[in-house]
Structure 1
């Protein structure tokens, strides 16, 4: 089942209210029914998309010693260059945090890498705020509630990935293990290699590339806040045969000290039991990123939202 495609032109261009409501409803319905969708006419310039692909490919082609020098000045996130080759997948990445944090070193062999990625970062951060407000309206929350609740942008991250090619007879073809994102929303720009799949009703469905579009998916934080009204779709990436795969993703996050629990609109106000106990966001984020920090992490050490699920037997409304 192909994921929906939502045109955001009416939102970007501040069109009439009817067109805007139509886009909001289409976007919200896609989040509700799939947790995964595409957006077009999203405002990210085509020339910036092209230049971001060019500079990140050059970065990953740079000598390993130069890539390893790409480290954050200060961040609790594993920013900079990293590599994974194990049970969680096989890929290498460059994580960019708040542009103000910067990096100690960017490879001199890749001109404009910093400027290009920081420009992409700002575009996608603004897009995240806009999408968050669209979902806010679709769910019938008070005006700008989610934007005000999620007012700390310090944990947003931009990730650039490269997946190595795989031979047809290779037994290890997974590039990124199946997972749910922990954040609020993720925006993904993939090249033409393919390999992305999402889970729907127990089946894994390919998300083939569509030039000029961004893939958007709901994260676990939104799933918790809406008491599972919106669900973070599970997804995974396969390594391509005979060629590399490049992608770029922006994770629109929430403040690490923010207390997360189902909102009253989706529990008390409608007589529904909370499906999750409250938690501080960094508990989920740090557990989710443990494998990026430590290559020897065991699968059972990587927590997801279900760690905070409330058993049905504990329901106060039963």
Structure 2
């Protein structure tokens, strides 16, 4: 069992955690025994038709034969567990720049702390934010960080390769012109977020992460053996069960806009486990900040515009509005 001192103080309490608010898109109860046949994409023999169908129907797929060494996936997970086992105060002191520590929300403000001030809005998670392009600035005097840095650099290289290969295939399937394809993705924006979801046995409605879509072009997930990820499709929630040596790829808001809504940015959430903590490692990649996304469905915007609007909406309204802010012909209340 994890040392309680390693958790943020709020998570050490025995009071019931936050419960999931009513979701208007959830007319049916999630069935934990359901096991959907999620699309599987084989990177060694990449079929563009199958990839396009997965992106249209699910916005998510399992990736096999991805070429990331199994040993590296295990090493990243094991090292993450060691770092999370440090005391809460140690993590706050040790992780400042470029790797930052956060808890309570996956959305970071400039200071790296939860954007929401109310305890009732705090998700049951903590994590490390790793901008891969800034790893060279890491002064790893601590031995744990010293050994983690080369693992992250190697991992980032593999994930950049996967993201580039997949996005190039998606661009061809969508028949994007070369100029559009070039602006789809900027590997220099790649970042890794490492999450820990503490277990919670006191309430069966404990949520590690609320319903959301990613703001990325694509996100690539390496999850441990503890389940919890759920995706929304056909008015139902489905579990994405962990399968050894596979990665889970989901599309974000930027890919939905780039595809003119042909591909979907999938809604997903994370439920905490009653008995075991869960660790997941997710790679996110975005368009270049200055690259303009042009679409018949949306007003021209850059990722910088989108990111600023999301930050403003979270600050003002407490939630992300997302692509609806940029739809053509629609006016939203400020």
TM-score by length of 2: 0.77
Partners of 2:262 and 2:294 in 1: how far apart? 13
Equivalent position of 2:21 in the other structure: none
Q: CA deviation at 1:80?
A: 1.3
Please list the CA deviations of residues 239-267 of structure 1 after superposition, one character each: whole Å capped at 9, or x if unmatched.
111110000000021112222231xxxxx
Equivalent position of 1:304 in the other structure: 322
1:134 counterpart = 2:164: no
Query: 1:106 touches 1:113 (CA, 8 Å); kept in 2?
Result: no
Q: Counterpart of 1:223 in 2: which secondary structure? A: helix
Partners of 1:60 and 1:289 in 2: how far apart? 27
Change (3 A) 1:81 1:106: farther
Partners of 1:178 and 1:59 in 2: how far apart? 27
Larger RCO (CA within 8 A; separation ≥ 6) = 2
1:246 counterpart = 2:279: yes
**What is the total number of aligned residue pairs between the two structures?**
280
Query: 2:220 touches 2:248 (CA, 8 Å); kept in 1?
Result: yes
Listed as ranges, the matches of 1:183-202 within 5 Å are: 183-202=216-235
Query: 2:217 touches 2:253 (CA, 8 Å); kept in 1?
Result: yes
Structure 1: gaps (5+ residues): 11-19, 74-78, 263-273, 314-318
The one of 96, 104, 117 aligned to 1:71: 96
Change (3 A) 1:215 1:114: same
Equivalent position of 1:82 in the other structure: 102
CA RMSD across the alignment: 2.4
The one of 116, 129, 136 aligned to 2:151: 116
Q: CA deviation at 1:287?
A: 4.4
Query: 1:91 touches 1:161 (CA, 8 Å); kept in 2?
Result: yes
Please list the CA deviations of residues 150-178 of structure 1 after superposition, one character each: whole Å capped at 9, or x if unmatched.
463332111110000011x4165110111
The one of 125, 149, 169 aligned to 2:183: 149
Equivalent position of 1:181 in the other structure: 214
TM-score by length of 1: 0.80
Equivalent position of 2:81 in the other structure: 57
Query: 2:140 touches 2:146 (CA, 8 Å); kept in 1?
Result: no
Query: 1:70 touches 1:107 (CA, 8 Å); kept in 2?
Result: no
The one of 228, 233, 243 aligned to 1:210: 243
Query: 2:286 touches 2:303 (CA, 8 Å); kept in 1?
Result: no
Query: 1:9 touches 1:42 (CA, 8 Å); kept in 2?
Result: yes
Structure 2: gaps (5+ residues): 1-35, 106-118
Equivalent position of 2:127 in the other structure: 93
Q: CA deviation at 1:108?
A: 2.9
Partners of 2:242 and 2:302 in 1: how far apart? 35
Change (3 A) 1:30 1:187: same
Q: Which aligned segments of 4 or more residues in structure 1 are displaced greater than 6 angstroms?
A: none
